[in-house]
Amino acid sequence: MNSPLVSKEAIIEALKTIEDPDLFIDIYFLGLIYSINIDEGAVAIDMTFTTPLCPSGPQLKHEVQTKVGALPGVASVTVTITFTPPWQPSEEVKGLLGMM
């Protein structure tokens, strides 16, 4: 019997539980997730960091792989880090961070 395939919504909910340790805001709300692709249980995520030299980068990537990989229906997780385009906080994030 095949396990049910994971939904994009379930992946997003898992990503919302991962907090940037420097900004104390979840990585999905921050806009660090650029894309989520699902192909028969294989999940591919493109993400970025707030800066290319983010000291928490490896930890965040590991958390994404671990939390998404633990979801029912996920066979594998590939996380690709990209800085193209560079991260730009949304107006809402800028407001939360006092950047306005």
Considering the segment(s) 8-95 as one domain, its CATH architecture is 2-Layer Sandwich (3.30)
99: tokens are 């950047």
- Domain ranges within the chain, ordered by starting residue: 8-95
Helix, coil or strand: residue 7: coil
**pTM tops 0.85:** yes
DSSP letter for each residue of 11-72? HHHHHTTPBPTTT-SBHHHHT-EEEEEEETTEEEEEE--SSTT-TTHHHHHHHHHHHHHTST
Whether the predicted pLDDT of 5 surpasses 90: no
Q: pLDDT tens, 42-91? A: 999 999 999 999 999 999 999 999 999 999 999 999 999 999 999 999 99
Block residue for tokens 């709300």: 29
